[in-house]
Amino acid sequence: MKITPAELREKVKGLYEVIPRETEVVKVLKEECNGCGKCADLCPVGVYEINEKKAEVVAIEFCQECGLCYHVCPVGAITFTYPEGGTGIVYKWA
Partner 1 sequence: MNYDVIVVGAGPAGSVAAKLCADKGLKTLLLEMGREPGEKNCSGTTIPLFNLYEDFPWINDPEMPITRNVYSNTHYWVFPDGERWFKTEAVGGVVTPPRAVNVYRDLWDPWLASKAMDAGAELRKSTTVWDVIKEGDAVCGVVTHTGEKIRSGVVIAADGLNSMVSIKAGLRDKRRVDEYGVCVKYDFESTPEHIEVAFNMADGQVANESWYGGTWSSGRTGYCWLFPNYDSISVGLFTLLSDLKENPFVLMQRFLEHPLVKTKLKGAKPRYYSVRNLNSCKNGVDKTCADGIMAVGDAAGFTCVVEGCGIPAALWSGKFAAETAIDAIASGDVSYSGLKAYETKWKNSFIARDMAGSKKTSDWLYKTVGAEGIGLFIQHAIEGWMLKHGWSEGGHDDACRSLMEDFIQSQLPRYLKLYGSLYEEGV
* Identity of the residue, 20 or 92, whose beta carbon is nearer to partner 1 in the bound complex: 92
Cβ within 8 Å of residue 55, ≥6 positions away: 28, 33, 35, 37, 39, 40, 48, 49, 77, 78
From CA 66, how far away is CA 64, in angstroms rounded? 6
* Identity of the residue, 13 or 53, whose beta carbon is nearer to partner 1 in the bound complex: 13
Secondary structure of residue 88 in the 3-state scheme = strand
CB of 51 to partner 1, least distance (A): 19
CB of 66 to partner 1, least distance (A): 5
Per CB under 8 A, residues contacting partner 1 are 1-3, 8, 11-12, 15-16, 23, 41-45, 64-68, 70-72, 74, 76, 80-86, 88-94
Report yes or no: 72 and 39 within 8 Å, Cβ to Cβ: yes
CB of 84 to partner 1, least distance (A): 4
